[in-house]
Amino acid sequence: MSNKPQKPELLAPAGNIESFYAAIEAGADAVYLGTADFNARLRAKNFTVRTLGALIPYAHSRSVKVYVTINTIIKQREIEDVLNLLYQLEQLGAGAVIAADIGVMKLAALHFPNLKIHGSTQAAVHNSYGAAFLKTLGAKRAVLARELSIDEIRETNRKSPIELEVFIHGALCYSISGMCLASSFIGGSSGNRGCCAQVCRRKFKTGRKEGYFFSPFDLQAVYSVAKLAKAGISSLKIEGRMKGPEYVSTVTAAYRHVIDFPGEASTAAQKLLFDFGRPKTSFFLDGCKGNYIDPFYPAGTGIFLGNVINHGETSFTLSNKAALTLDSGDRLRIQPQSGFEGSICKIEECGKQEDTVVIKTKSTVKCGSGDHVFLIGKAVQNKRFTESAQTAAAKSSVNLRTIYPNAHKIIKCLSSPKPVISADNHNQKIWFRADSVAWLTILNINACKNLIFDADIKEIEQLLSNPEVLKRWRPKLFIAPPPFIEESKLDVWHSIIKKCRGAGLQSFAVSNAGHFELVKEAKHLSAQTPLWSLNRLTQKELQKRYVEWFEYSSEDDFINLRAASSIKGIVTLYGKPQLFISRMPPPVAGGSILSDSHKNGFFVKVKNNLCYTIASTPVCLFAKREKISSCGIENFLIDLCFHDPDQKLADSLVSNFRAGVKVEGSTMFNFKLGLR
């Protein structure tokens, strides 16, 4: 796009008021933060709208913009609250909202024209087609996925019709953002809803080998800033809303320096030596050439000090492997070996004894022998941050109106007519999803409404070269492109889709914002997850783009399914959840079976150069089919991807579907307990 700035914006995180002031003092051009709801870092302290009434004018007085996150997937019952929040943020003069839900983006563009919209990294934009789709929703900027090289970013930016934002520092997720179900499936709280339990940081086992196989190092792109600026990137973003003001101040100041003085990257790198993060990687920016996961390195953040040797109620002894000087007031994180979230304590007294250190604290210490200890903050803090936070006026200069007057009218327009419930089971249609031609030779076409062919390129080419199978399945086949297609591979997929259309395949299943342009000449469209559709706003937006059917997420719950029910909705009744979708293989042998401390099983498969980590335990809702049908939903999907083709399995699944019988050893995921 044209008119892109020569010097990129420096965008810093703030998870609390102290960090907000620290970011501004250290030279941020903009600060991003969240309120208590609808943001992907709900465990941060976050902000109230009333507090923002004082902080946003302060930021503006320093020529600093404030962006507010509404970057989670939204349930149907939450739409009114989202409307009210957008209304309040517009009155406060927020610089932009960072959103992930496509329905929310369109809602903001239509009703709150003074709010700029930035597409969150949760929207998984990784090519110019995805950026172009966000523009149709009213977005002015897209936050790119982290899994892109500088060359890919440069080419995407050259073709993008909107601004692009790139992460340059901070924690990395193993899964592509917006495509992770691991926390929801294993930890009971959804990362897509801002409640990530950091399952990727836990210890896993494969055979006799144990390690943190899904725990990446932290991103550090200080030596890539000049290249990103030259590529025309509009904003450089620092991750860290869960971090303290020391981190925000240190990291923001370092990147301020390298942006202002491009030839002094090494000076900036020196400033980052004590950011209290994990070991560093440039990740995909340099093509992922270096090390990005060490399975034997403890997963916690901070400077690794050593392991707990023994402990009492308010004290513990650790091996001083880092040989650092510790002081009263320093903050420590004690991380269990399992990788589960640790506890934080402050040093009251400490004494060195040869190669060990005895730590005393005021409060009770939760730790066990062998636990890892990290230094996460020094006692010396910038008092200005604390004083500013304490005196931050809760008094706002804005006469804030909290209730959006048109909310009920908008919600009423989203309501659907009461569904006509039929007792006839013949109205209940079976969809299949499969990833190999072998499945197409096994499945009974007469039992199938439609089949989503979610396969790799070799399997698609094999299908196209098999006239017998192609003829039989052509009317019912939806071809699914992969959920991640880098800019350089768009031509490859254009060619594949052209071949499919030449073979008479006119139906496609989209799962990413970038797919719509790719399959724009399709006659029939179905939307898969992770193109999330948990509310009628999104459903309506998909219908405008000629999507005839859409899938509810397998992590959704019954209450929300009922609230957002649609005759065009498809509920997955059976399948093995894709917990991680990643561009990087974990450091385990191909075909390895993994388990966690709770004996949950997983396996890793590669498809279209993406690494899928699959739960061994399937989700099965066959026994709930009638309950779901009572909401007016009549399309049900059996997902056979990542299963070995098996006639007996196919027959038994169809039989269980019709009988309403749960598959032995399966789980209902969030259906009953609720999506948190």
Please say whether the beta carbons of 129 and 516 come within 8 A.
yes
Helices (H) and strands (E) in the chain, counts: 21, 31
Assess whether pLDDT exceeds 70 at residue 650: yes
Q: Are 258 and 273 in contact (CB under 8 A)?
A: no
CATH architecture of the domain with residue range 9-172+218-289+384-391: Alpha-Beta Barrel (3.20)
Checking if the pLDDT of 2 tops 50, the result is no
Distance, in Å, from the CA atom of 134 to the CA atom of 123, rounded to the nearest integer, reads 9
- What's the Cα-to-Cα distance from 10 to each of 23, 32, 96, rounded to whole Å? 10, 11, 15
pLDDT (tens digit per residue) in 326-342: 888 888 888 887 666 67
CB count, 10 Å around CB of 598?
8
Confidence tier at 381 by pLDDT (50, 70, 90): low
User: CA torsion angle for 328, 331, 335, 341 (degrees, to 10)?
Assistant: 150
Cβ(231)–Cβ(7) below 8 Å: no
Residues sharing a CB contact under 8 Å with residue 473, sequence separation 6 or more, in sequence order: 440, 445, 451
Which H or E element spans position 572?
A: strand 569-575
Per the model's pLDDT, the better-predicted residue between 319 and 535 turns out to be: 535
Residues in contact with 361: Cβ distance below 8 Å, sequence separation at least 6, in sequence order: 314, 315, 345, 346, 347, 348
What does the pLDDT look like over 240-268, one tens digit per residue? 998 889 899 999 999 999 999 999 999 99
- Report, in angstroms and rounded to the nearest whole number, the Rg of the chain calculated over CA atoms: 26
Widest pairwise Cα distance in the chain: 78
| The pLDDT of residue 220 is above 70 | yes
| Helix runs in 596-641, H state only | 625-629
Q: How far is the C-alpha of 290 from the C-alpha of 284, rounded, in Å? A: 9
**pLDDT value of position 385:** 58
Q: What pTM did the predictor assign?
A: 0.92
Q: Give the C-alpha separation, 562 to 169, whole Å.
A: 41
Per-residue pLDDT, 592: 84
Highest mean pLDDT among 4-13, 195-204, 454-463: 454-463
CATH number of 427-576+618-659: 3.20.20.70
91 neighbors 401 (Cβ within 8 angstroms)? yes
Averaged pLDDT for residues 562-575: 96
Paired tokens of 487: 């800019």
Within this chain, domains 9-172+218-289+384-391 and 427-576+618-659 share the same CATH topology: yes
Give me the phi and psi of 613, to 5 degrees please.
-100, 120
Residue range 371-400: mean pLDDT, rounded: 65
The pLDDT of residue 394: 47
Instruction: Decide: residue 442, CB within 10 A, 0-12 exposed, 13-18 middle, 19+ buried.
Output: middle
Q: What pLDDT is stored for residue 1 in this prediction?
A: 46
Report the C-alpha gap between 514 and 583 in whole angstroms: 17
Give the domain 304-373 fold. Answer: Thrombin, subunit H (2.40.10)
Overall average pLDDT of the 443-457 stretch = 96
CA 290, 293, 294, 298 torsion: positive or negative? positive
Overall average pLDDT of the 388-393 stretch: 52
Over residues 22-42, the pLDDT tens digits come to 999 999 999 999 998 887 666
Average pLDDT over residues 119-127: 97
Token code pair at residue 561 = 């399914």
More confident residue, 80 or 426: 80
Residue 321 has pLDDT above 80, yes or no: no
Q: Where are the domains of the chain?
A: 9-172+218-289+384-391, 178-215+577-617, 304-373, 427-576+618-659
**Per-residue confidence (pLDDT) for residue 194, from 0 to 100:** 87
Q: Which residue has the higher pLDDT, 418 or 121?
A: 121
**pLDDT band at residue 424 under the 50/70/90 scheme:** low
Average pLDDT, the chain: 91
Judge residue 465's burial from the number of C-beta atoms within 10 Å of its C-beta, 0-12 exposed, 13-18 middle, 19 or more buried. Answer: exposed
pLDDT at 338: 66
Read off the pLDDT of each residue in 183-197 and give the average, rounded to a whole number. Answer: 90
What's the distance, Cα to Cα, between the start and end of the chain in Å?
39
Q: For the ranges 179-188, 415-424, 574-583, which has the lowest average pLDDT? A: 415-424
**pLDDT value of position 426:** 60
582 alpha-carbon distance from chain centroid: 11
| Positive or negative: CA dihedral 182, 187, 188, 192 | negative
